[in-house]
Structure 1
Amino acid sequence: MTGRHDGGVGGALRRDRFTFGPLEEGEALVEPILGSWEANMDHALARSPIDVCSSRGEDTVVLGNLGVVRVLDVNAGSRDVRVREGDLCLLLPFGRLDRFDYAELAYAYDCPGTIGLLAKRSKMDVRLLLPVPDGTAYSLPQWATYGRYFTAWDNWQKAYGCWRTQVADDDPANHLVFGWGGGVAFAELTLAKRAGFRVAMAAGSDERVAFLQENGITPVDRRRFPGLSLPNRQERADRDWHQRRRASVEDFHGLVNELSDGHGVAIFVDNIGEPLYDVTLAALAREGVVTTCGWKAGMRLSQLRGAECISRHIHVNTHVWRLPDSPGIRDFQETEGWIAPKGSDVIYDFDRVPELADDYASGRIGSYFPMYRVNPL
């Protein structure tokens, strides 16, 4: 992407040549195969919540921090390197780590000097390359969705653990986990389902409603509640709009009560943010948890602190996952089949990446797992 552009989100992308120096110790030359289109790329192109070009002090940034690459060469030096030429690897999106190995800056996003997957060739630290399991039962497109699954794993572990601090021994079958968001929320709800919870998720298209139903998640058609989101500036002065919102919120909470036997949502996975946050909090059960690992539509949230205390609500916020946990999550995916369903992706060729960016920003993609192909397998 370039520092300046005109037009839509896709207009921030420009095909160009770039150069990088020779491999340094512990670096690998890689050939990106498939990249996963993530919300962080949409945020980067929209220059919100930050302008990553300005933040990095760079005029041009190569985006793309989750996907599958082929290793072409390795400069091991004195390091214990566990990748070799020809390996297919998952790129782990860690730029700068904190003292507990969580990400402070994301690779190919706000971390300066990092080169993403929207390039025919790139180089990266071998510590960020996690090999795809030998003889895997799953396709490369299925593995290319790993970023949503790794993120969901970390967020679910924290949210479920917090819920259990207050509800120590009740059967999860008595409790509802609800989500709105995309692929991360879907992956998280499949973990909740494995844990024995009732699970439901909002969806805004026939394709997504059918997909959720096929995968054992109760679909809630978002179109049934057209006034659910907070109003924009023009709508705030419309008295009829406020009546429509009140009706949509009441209808939604009525449905939640039906699904939860009148108790509300035990764990609410809310990766949307501000437009629906008041609805999320009002839908929470006592001792409920609201958990998020993303901010698709609004980062600034407000709440009535006293009400949250009295209801014993726990708020969980996570970002990415812990780097040393990566091999274990990958192995769980392989052995347990916790991975994107076969054929659930949609793939754009490299020349169509600007179109992918615009389709994603406009909500025209039915799949929870959009991706782009850079080089052939």
Structure 2
Amino acid sequence: MTAFSLDPAQTAWCAELRTLAAEILRPLAEKGEAGHVNRPLVAELGRLGLLARLFTSGALDLCLMRESLAQACTEAETALALQGLGAHPVHAYGTQDQRERWLPQVADGGAVAAFALSEPGAGSDAAALALRADEDGPDGWRLTGEKCWISNAPEADFYTVFARTTPGAGARGVTAFLVPADRPGLTGTPLDMLSPHPIGALAFDAVPVTADDVLGEPDHGFRVAMHTLNLFRPSVGAFAVGMARAALDATLEHTAQRDAFGGKLRDLQTVAHQVAEMALRTEAARLMVYAAAAAYDEGAPDVPQRAAMAKLLATETAQYVVDAAVQLHGARALRRGHLLEHLYREVRAPRIYEGASEVQRAIIAKELYAAEEAS
């Protein structure tokens, strides 16, 4: 396990990000409409240079950005992360023409990206996806089927879409395509979800794509998906750590000020021990996230295992910490508009998306047994 601590420059940058999130980004987020892309917020992330860093930073910098923004403005964190998730395959696997057309627009906030992997019958089991890419001429396909639970859909400007080009080949028969939103036959529907960020379903009715739209190589799209998820899974953990820290900070303030039983709430041993446990788990999750990100940046061979561990521990920890914070705040935390009411809705989804907690445990076990057999 990598021994890890932030240097002074990184610590100062994180503090600057939290300030930007609180003073500039949060007011824009509050003007947005739940369930819709907040384009002014995305544009401001571009103006501040944060979106461009998605394509120049390593996994650790991505984690620091997501954790810091989440601590002060979850909407800004999510907008940044979704731009990165949707556009990273273009950055890593796109042709020069694809990169030149789309990445500058993503970086300045002018184009909204989306990552379209999940389907009604294939969520965490990505290799089982059923969206068909039927051959249409010598270098073309027609996409037919559905995608579901797609963040930024149906309002994104382009989608990284994963479709089956070779039936019956499992993970080896999937191709990644860059599909602009204005392609004929592509329609979408918004979904009303617990968390406030935009999520929708996409319908593909013989949507035309060509070899110019392929990301990477035909039938090698599963590699594109897994490479992207291995990068972003630790940073999902960072998002969770940011929410846990925000909940912990709110709890420290509340329990230090709240009068109860002739003293302050913090004077009750059961409360103090609960707060200590919240802090302990949050710090442990943060260190695992940083270690997984550092391993990715170093090209370590056990990145899939570390990324899965980081996402699993951090998202489960954030759920625990936010729930404990709500309990210690009492009924006030359940009022619409309270920070913890907001975090309570936000914290549930990360345990499901980009691989549910059960899938992360399966990945961890698979990697452990593979290492044992290789030794």
TM-score, normalised via structure 2 length: 0.25
TM-score, normalised via structure 1 length: 0.25
User: Which gives a bigger RCO, structure 1 or 2 (Cα 8 Å, sep 6+)?
Assistant: 1
Structure in which a larger fraction of residues adopt strand: 1
Structure in which a larger fraction of residues adopt helix: 2
